[in-house]
Amino acid sequence: MTERMRGKVRRAERMFANEEVSSYPERDGQQLEWMAKRSRLTMRNSIMVIDDDEEFVEELNDLLNLSGYETVTVRDPLKAVDIVSREKPDAILLDLKMPGKGGFEVAYEICHLPELARIPVVVMTGYFNSQNNPLVELCQIKKCLKKPFQPLEVIWALEEVLAKK
């Protein structure tokens, strides 16, 4: 976790005990504090993060945990479908560009296994373009996030797909 993120987490923890949440903040600097307070009010959903970038996964896990989600991480896309089958998360955050097996291939395998097909998949990528739209539909991907994204964009995307589940 970066020092900047640690500072925000410490501030959020201090605020956590003192205030209740009425609405989300509009200023970017207060997002993590809002998410920390919000986590007390949220049911714990499990989110699987499938991404080969260790530093990005660590930051994303911190964000999700701070927001009240339980996380399972997979850094090897070749093992992802087996781990999804075993863990059965409530939603999946999936990187599209990974070595060995790409995110579209992982999503396709997940959506075509009857016991996993209902798990919503949100993809994260810096390489998405409109030519990928047919693949998005084929793989039954529910939401696409273009990197870099703001922390609340991930939370909103997860809340949206979980609400429709």
The domain ranges of the chain are 1-41, 44-164
Q: Is the pLDDT of residue 17 over 70?
A: no
* Averaged pLDDT, 30-44: 55
Identify the band that residue 30 occupies on the pLDDT scale cut at 50, 70 and 90.
low
DSSP state of 23: S
Neighbours of 102 (CB within 10 A): 17
Pairing between strand 121-125 and 91-95?
Answer: parallel
pLDDT tens sequence across 55-76 = 999 999 999 999 999 999 999 9
Q: Is the pLDDT of residue 22 over 60?
A: no
Tell me the C-alpha distance between 148 and 86, whole Å: 30
Residues whose CB falls within 8 Å of the CB of residue 165, separated by 6 or more in sequence, listed in order: 90, 91, 118, 120
Residue 19 has a pLDDT of 40
| The pTM of the whole model exceeds 0.85 | no
For the chain, give the percent of residues with pLDDT over 70.
73
Tell which CATH classification among 3.40.50.300, 2.160.10.10, 3.40.50.2300, 3.40.50.10800 matches the domain 44-164: 3.40.50.2300
Tell me the C-alpha distance between 98 and 93, whole Å: 13
Considering the chain, what is the average pLDDT of its residues? 82
Identify the band that residue 33 occupies on the pLDDT scale cut at 50, 70 and 90.
low
Q: Is the pLDDT of residue 132 over 60?
A: yes
| DSSP for 36-101, written as a single string | HHHHTTS---EEEEE-S-HHHHHHHHHHHHHTT-EEEEE--TTTHHHHHHHH--SEEEEES--SSS
